[in-house]
C-alpha cells in the first residue's frame, strides 16, 4: 500500500491534520521504490549509517542546522530550558530538556512521550490499523518465551516520536523500575511510510525492554525502539528503584523513534478516542503526561 501523506488526529479539536515529515521524499523513495528498497536493505537499515549520522549531529558545527529545523517544524522553544544560542550541538538541541511545568502530568496512565499514539485492547488487534504485510509477532518482539506468555492476550500502546517531537521519554505510572534488557537489531524507519504495510519491522529493530512494577496496572513492559538515524537510546533512570509518574526515564538521540507499552490482560482500559482513531486508521497526537488510559 502506498501512503501519500501521514494523517493524524488532533486530540484537542478531533480534526485530521497532515504531519510535516522531515526527509519525506527520501522515506517514500526508500519504502515505495524498488531502487530505494535495495538501498534500504544494503545500507540504510545498518547500524553504521545511523551511528555515523548520530556522530555528525554531536559535532559543534551541527548547531547550524538548529534554527532551520525549529522554523520548518514550528517548534515552541519557549518550553525549552536552554535558548537556541546555548546548545553545543544539534543533538544537544534534539534531546533538550523542557522547563519543569511545560507538561502537565494528568490522572490515570499517561503518555510516556510527546508523539502520535495507537492503542489495541488486544495485541493481536494490530491488523485493524496496519495492512497485513510482514506481521507483528509478540514472541519475536520480546525474544523471551516467559515474557511472551506473560503478555499474550494483553493490551498494547505505541507512541511514535517524529523528528520534530520532544525526545525525552518518561514513566507512565508510579512504580518500581527494573533493569533493561537490550535486543540488537536493525534501524528501519518507524514512520507510517515504512510500517503501515509492514508492522513487522518493529520485531527487526534494535530495542530495549524494562518492567515497571505498578500497584494499579500490574507489571507494565516499557520498550524503546531504535530507528533510522537514531544515534542511540540513552537511559537516565536508576534500575531497581521506586519512580514517580512523569519522571524522566531516558532520551533518544537524533531521529524518529517509538515507545511501546505492554499490559497483561485486563489490567488497562485504553481511552476510547485512541482506540476509535486506531480502528479508523489514524494516530492520535498526544503529549507527555497526557492521560491515555486508566
Task: Categorize the per-residue pLDDT at 81 as very low, low, confident or very high, splitting at 50, 70 and 90.
Answer: very high
User: What is the model's pLDDT at position 55?
Assistant: 64
pLDDT tens digits, residue range 4-35? 677 889 998 999 988 765 444 444 434 444 43
Residues 6 or more apart whose CB falls under 8 angstroms from that of 109 comprise 172, 173, 217, 268, 291, 292, 293, 294
Q: Of 170, 189, 191, 197, which is the active-site residue?
A: 170
To the query of whether residue 114 is one of the catalytic residues in this protein, the response is yes
State residue 221's pLDDT score: 98
The string of pLDDT tens digits covering residues 160-169 is 898 889 999 9
Which residues, other chains included, contact 65 with Cβ-Cβ below 8 Å and sequence gap of 6+?
Answer: 90
Global pTM reads: 0.85
4 catalytic per annotation: no
Share above pLDDT 70 across residues of the chain, in percent, rounded to a whole number: 74
Q: From the candidates 89, 155, 257, 258, which is the catalytic residue?
A: 257
- Is 170 catalytic? The answer is yes
pLDDT, position 38: 37
Q: DSSP 3-state assignment of 178?
A: coil
Kindly tell me if the per-residue pLDDT of 192 is higher than 90.
no
CA 78, chain centre distance (Å) = 23
Distance CA 258, CA 163 (A): 11
pLDDT at 269 (0 to 100):
98
Set 89, 111, 114, 167: catalytic member: 114
Amino acid at each position: 500500500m502506498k501512503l501519500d501523506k501521514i494523517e493524524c488526529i488532533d486530540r484537542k479539536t478531533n480534526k485530521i491534520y497532515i504531519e510535516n515529515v522531515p526527509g519525506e521524499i527520501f522515506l517514500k523513495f526508500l519504502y515505495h521504490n524498488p531502487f530505494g528498497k535495495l538501498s534500504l536493505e544494503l545500507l540504510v537499515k545498518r547500524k553504521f549509517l545511523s551511528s555515523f549520522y548520530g556522530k555528525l549531529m554531536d559535532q559543534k558545527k551541527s548547531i547550524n542546522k538548529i534554527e532551520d529545523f525549529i522554523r520548518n517544524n514550528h517548534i515552541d522553544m519557549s518550553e525549552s530550558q536552554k535558548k537556541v544560542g546555548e546548545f553545543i550541538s544539534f543533538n544537544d538541541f534534539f534531546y533538550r530538556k523542557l522547563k519543569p511545568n511545560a507538561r502537565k502530568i494528568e490522572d490515570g496512565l499517561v503518555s510516556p512521550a510527546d508523539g502520535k499514539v495507537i492503542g489495541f485492547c488486544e495485541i493481536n488487534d494490530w491488523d485493524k490499523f496496519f495492512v497485513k504485510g510482514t506481521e507483528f509477532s509478540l514472541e519475536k518482539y520480546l525474544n523471551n518465551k516467559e515474557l511472551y506468555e506473560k503478555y499474550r492476550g494483553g493490551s498494547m500502546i505505541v507512541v511514535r516520536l517524529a523528528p520534530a517531537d520532544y525526545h525525552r521519554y518518561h514513566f507512565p505510572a508510579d512504580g518500581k523500575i527494573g533493569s533493561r534488557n537490550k535486543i540488537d537489531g536493525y534501524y528501519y524507519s518507524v514512520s507510517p511510510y515504512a510500517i503501515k504495510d509492514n508492522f513487522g519491522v518493529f520485531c527487526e529493530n534494535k530495542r530495549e525492554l524494562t518492567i515497571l512494577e505498578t500497584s494499579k496496572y500490574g507489571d507494565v513492559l516499557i520498550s524503546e525502539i531504535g530507528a533510522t538515524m537514531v544515534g542511540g537510546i540513552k537511559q537516565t533512570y536508576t534500575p531497581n528503584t521506586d519512580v514517580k509518574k512523569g519522571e524522566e526515564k531516558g532520551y533518544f538521540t537524533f531521529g524518529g523513534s517509538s515507545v511501546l507499552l505492554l499490559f497483561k490482560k485486563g489490567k488497562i482500559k485504553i481511552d476510547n478516542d485512541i482506540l476509535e482513531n486506531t480502528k479508523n486508521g489514524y494516530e492520535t497526537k498526544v503529549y507527555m503526561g497526557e492521560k491515555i488510559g486508566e
